[in-house]
């Protein structure tokens, strides 16, 4: 099976910074797109940022200019650098990866367990 493990969440003050990481492991042939989603209490999960295997990125309008997504293909790891954090960024952040497993012909989406990010005002 494929496992995604997030780390780096925590409590920060508004205007501060936080870095998240997500490492994928298991029977992996390749990873296509990787992304970060977040979900606040009582709200639907939403896309934060996504990065393709080639390095192309896309961000939610609410985080453009503040967050930066990157990846290390050799380590099967995706990162999210969050700067100028706002209270509305408070949520559980989930890693997602589109993975082609060994011996499989199709890719599947996998989710991490989530990491809590809390921004105080």
Quick one: what percent of the chain has pLDDT higher than 90?
93
pLDDT of residue 41: 92
- What does the alpha-carbon distance between residue 88 and residue 74 come to, in Å, rounded to a whole number? 33
Q: What is the pLDDT of residues 54-73, one digit of tens each?
A: 999 999 999 999 999 999 99
Q: What is the pLDDT of residues 68-105, one digit of tens each?
A: 999 999 999 999 999 999 999 999 999 999 999 888 88
Q: What is the pLDDT of residues 20-46, one digit of tens each?
A: 999 999 999 999 999 999 999 999 999
């Amino acid at each position: 099976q494929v496992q995604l493990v997030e780390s780096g969440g925590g409590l920060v003050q508004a205007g501060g910074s936080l870095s998240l990481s997500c490492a994928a492991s298991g029977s992996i042939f390749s990873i296509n797109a990787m992304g970060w989603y977040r979900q606040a209490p009582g709200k639907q999960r939403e896309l934060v940022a996504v990065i393709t295997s080639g390095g192309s990125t896309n961000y939610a309008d609410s985080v453009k200019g503040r967050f930066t997504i990157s990846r290390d293909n050799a380590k099967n790891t995706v990162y999210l650098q969050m700067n100028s954090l706002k209270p509305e960024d408070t949520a559980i952040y989930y890693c997602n990866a589109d993975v082609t497993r060994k011996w499989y012909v199709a890719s599947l989406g996998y989710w991490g367990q989530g990491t809590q990010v809390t921004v105080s005002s």
